[in-house]
Amino acid sequence: MVLDLLVPTAIVGGIGLLAGFGLSIASKKFEVKVDEKVGMVREVLPGANCGACGQTGCDAFAEAVVEGKCKPNGCPVGGQDVADKIGEILGVKAEAAEAKVARVMCSGTYQSCKTKYEYTGIEDCTAASALFGGPSACTYGCVGMGNCVRACPFNAIVIIDGLARIIESRCKACEMCVASCPKKIIKVVPKSNEYTVACSSKDKGAMVRKNCNVGCIGCAKCSKVCQHNAIEIQGTLAKINAKTCANCGECKGTCPTGAIKKFKCEV
């Protein structure tokens, strides 16, 4: 009777013990050496695996930083906070990382920009823009099918009235949306820069006017009114130089179409 209990217990227990020993030997033999600093750096990283640093993910970035291939301030998502912590772990002083934010260089909503045709295909900006440059009359502007929304790891983009809008408090400037946009109209700019020309149309002024109410027509009024010489007309588009711009807002007041928009970051 006792044997009936003991034998099964011994067999199952014995095999369990054997497997345990085998595994512990295997784990010693096939041990992967990991620098403990890698783990520490990995801990302080945001963990979004967005790839904005140029590595394949947070794990790869942590390894690269410890090996010295990346700078401690290489993570644009974590910003200064994370750079300081990494610097502390590695025992080096981190250089200042400039806070940046992504902005959509287009203002064309369903109301302000004319439509060429009604699009009923799949919800994808690349697919839509392959068809005569997209359903909107302006071939340079936002398609509004949400490629950037799906690419954003931080839920910082919403589409309202056919225009992608970036919630700046959530944006970490990881540039995932920049890569996903087939029109290449999302740009990463310094956060301190409040005014942006939100238009990317390379069409002539008259053409822009015909297609869209809020496009930049290259009239150069803004560059004349600017006291800091921060605005330059490049082709048919005004461009604000982030370094010399003093955020005075004169340009916004003078723009006849309202293409210059004020972005204020709520930090």
Q: Contact region for another protein (CB under 8 A) — 16-24, 70-78, 220-228, 249-257? A: 16-24
Rg (CA), the chain: 27
The β-bridge relationship of strands 186-190 and 100-104 is antiparallel
Closer to another protein by Cβ: residue 51 or 205: 51
Q: Which residues contact 115 (CB under 8 A, 6 or more apart)?
A: 135, 136, 137
Closest by CA to 237, choosing from 108, 140, 149, 157, is 140
**Binding of another protein by 26 (CB under 8 A):** yes
Query: Which residue from 1, 2, 122, 267 is in contact with another protein, where contact means CB under 8 A?
Result: 122
DSSP structure class, residue 147: H
Q: Contact region for another protein (CB under 8 A) — 10-18, 69-77, 176-184, 249-257? A: 10-18
Angle subtended by helix axes 79-90 and 58-67, to nearest 10: 50
Neighbouring CB atoms inside 10 A of 233's CB total: 14
**Binding of another protein by 6 (CB under 8 A):** no
Query: Which residue from 27, 169, 192, 244 is in contact with another protein, where contact means CB under 8 A?
Result: 27
Kindly list the distances between the CA atom of residue 214 and the CA atoms of 20, 50, 113, 211, 254, in Å, as whole numbers in the listed order: 70, 33, 8, 9, 13
With contacts defined by CB under 8 A, how many residues of the chain interact with another protein? 20
Query: Which residue from 19, 92, 96, 130 is in contact with another protein, where contact means CB under 8 A?
Result: 19
Query: Which residue from 1, 5, 30, 264 is in contact with another protein, where contact means CB under 8 A?
Result: 30
Closer to another protein by Cβ: residue 2 or 267: 2
DSSP structure class, residue 98: P
- Nearest distance in Å: CB 260, another protein: 37
- Nearest distance in Å: CB 60, another protein: 10
**Binding of another protein by 15 (CB under 8 A):** yes
* Partners of residue 103 on adjacent β-strands: 187
- Do residues 214 and 259 touch, judged by C-beta distance below 8 A? yes
Sketch the per residue contact string, 47 through 66, with another protein: x for CB under 8 A, - otherwise. ------------x-------
**Binding of another protein by 242 (CB under 8 A):** no
Closer to another protein by Cβ: residue 7 or 167: 7
| CA separation for the pair 86, 90 (Å, rounded) | 6
Query: Which residue from 80, 116, 124, 232 is in contact with another protein, where contact means CB under 8 A?
Result: 124
Query: Which residue from 16, 39, 47, 256 is in contact with another protein, where contact means CB under 8 A?
Result: 16
| CA separation for the pair 204, 236 (Å, rounded) | 6
DSSP structure class, residue 113: B
Chain residues that interact with another protein, rule: CB under 8 A: 7-8, 11-12, 15-16, 19-20, 22-23, 26-27, 30-32, 59, 121-124
